[in-house]
Amino acid sequence: MLCDSLRGPFVARTSLLREVALDERLPAAVLWEDWFLRVKRRGAVAAACPDALFFAGGGAEGVDGLGAGAGAGAGRDAWRRLAAAWQVDTVLLPGRPPLRFSCAEARLSCDLRQLHKRGLLVPTCCLREVARALAAYEDFAARHGLEYELNEGTALGAAKLRSVLPWDIDGDILIRFDDFEAHKAQKHEMAELGYSFERFTEKDGFKYFTFLTPNVTVDMWCRKQMSTFLLPKEMQNYPTRMKILGIWMRGPWNPGLLVRNRYGPGYLKHAQHWTKLGMKNHNEAYAVGSWSNCSLPNHHACLNRYPAEGSFNVLPEDRLVS
């Protein structure tokens, strides 16, 4: 059998073992998991011969406890060090609950603009931060009877992926003009949760402010009325909801129609932020269906390793945390 990773004896060329050395900076329990990952990245495989090679004692960890696959029973700290080495924030193990690590533990950045510049996906630990912020805002708006709608790329991400776009650099929400002052007056409530409303701007009938999470900025744009007026009269008190990062939030009255009209018939194909595409502004037509080059070729987070059209599972709901 040819495998990506093994939990028992294996066959490999001696030259490969010399060229891909064990990283002895890692705990012994995860040495082989790291080695197999590096072998896979190199494009090589290992062969298992279960009919002829097997452990006679010591279980799956090998006689000395350090055989291939020893990491299956490793503790959280050993996996944390492996996760940090590979810049992943979740480790899925057979027969065990998922191990989730914070961005700090996995040494991952949530600087969306820098990730965007380098052609990298936003890490899932950062998306969980966004999920918590959106949930907090939904509770805030419901508590004070405030109307809002997901807009622009945030509505597009919810429609296509049930997530914020994991290559976007900010968020967009519409609120009513009449609710501008309420956000300003009650901003202390969000501050108590670690978020803030900043940069309140009023000029020539224009109103705007920013909703800041620790790492992500959401632009809050004011409109005279929400699109719910386009719903049948008997439905106008029941705004359309869109599921985004596991949270049901208010969206435009017809999300599919909005994103189709806003982004054109190719909206199911993906495109990076307009600033990455050399466009003059966000109102120009997007070139869709391809990714830019990644600054870290072969890195698992490179956008160009993922499909440039259609849906893919950005953040499974079982990974959302409270």
Residue-wise pLDDT tens digits, 302-319: 999 988 988 777 665 544
Domain identity same for 238 and 129: yes
Task: Report the pLDDT value the prediction gives residue 56, as an integer from 0 to 100.
Answer: 56
| Number of domains observed in the structure of the chain | 2
Domain identity same for 199 and 122: yes
Domain interval for residue 39: 2-76
Domain identity same for 154 and 283: yes
- Give domain status of residue 104, yes or no: no
Domain identity same for 135 and 50: no
Q: Extract the residue ranges of the chain whose pLDDT is less than 70.
A: 1-4, 50-73, 314-322
Closest CA to 138 of 245, 61, 38, 52: 245
Q: How confident is the model over 155-190, as pLDDT tens digits? A: 999 999 999 999 999 999 999 999 999 999 999 999
> Which residues fall within 8 angstroms of residue 122, CB to CB, at 6 or more apart?
110, 112, 115, 164, 166, 167, 168
Q: Where a domain ends, among 29, 53, 76?
A: 76
Q: Where a domain ends, among 76, 92, 121?
A: 76
Domain identity same for 10 and 140: no
- Give domain status of residue 153, yes or no: yes
Task: Report the pLDDT value the prediction gives residue 95, as an integer from 0 to 100.
Answer: 80
Both tokens assigned to 291: 């990714």
> Which residues fall within 8 angstroms of residue 74, CB to CB, at 6 or more apart?
27, 29, 30
DSSP 235-273: GTTS--EEEETTEEEE--SSHHHHHHHHH-TTTTB----
Domain identity same for 178 and 308: yes
CB atoms within 10 A of CB 191: 11
SS3 content of the chain, % helix, strand, coil (to 5): 35, 15, 50
144 backbone dihedrals φ, ψ, rounded to 5°: -105, 5
Domain identity same for 122 and 64: no
- Give domain status of residue 181, yes or no: yes
Domain identity same for 188 and 65: no
- Give domain status of residue 103, yes or no: no
Task: Report the pLDDT value the prediction gives residue 92, as an integer from 0 to 100.
Answer: 84
Task: Report the pLDDT value the prediction gives residue 317, as an integer from 0 to 100.
Answer: 54
> Which residues fall within 8 angstroms of residue 185, CB to CB, at 6 or more apart?
none
- Give domain status of residue 146, yes or no: yes
Domain identity same for 149 and 274: yes
Q: Where a domain ends, among 29, 60, 76?
A: 76
* Residue at token pair 């429609």: 159
- Give the C-alpha distances (Å, rounded to integers) separating 134 from 90, 104, 140, 195, 322: 22, 21, 10, 10, 12
Strands 46-47 and 241-244: unpaired
Residue 294 — left, alpha, or beta (φ > 0 → left; ψ -120 to 50 → alpha)? beta
Task: Report the pLDDT value the prediction gives residue 60, as an integer from 0 to 100.
Answer: 47
Domain identity same for 217 and 288: yes
Domain identity same for 47 and 127: no
Task: Report the pLDDT value the prediction gives residue 29, as an integer from 0 to 100.
Answer: 87
- Give domain status of residue 23, yes or no: yes
- Give domain status of residue 102, yes or no: no
Domain identity same for 64 and 191: no
Which uninterrupted H or E stretch holds 223?
Answer: strand 217-223
**H-helix segments, the chain:** 14-19, 31-42, 76-86, 112-118, 124-144, 152-161, 180-185, 187-191, 255-263
- Give domain status of residue 221, yes or no: yes
Task: Report the pLDDT value the prediction gives residue 244, as an integer from 0 to 100.
Answer: 94
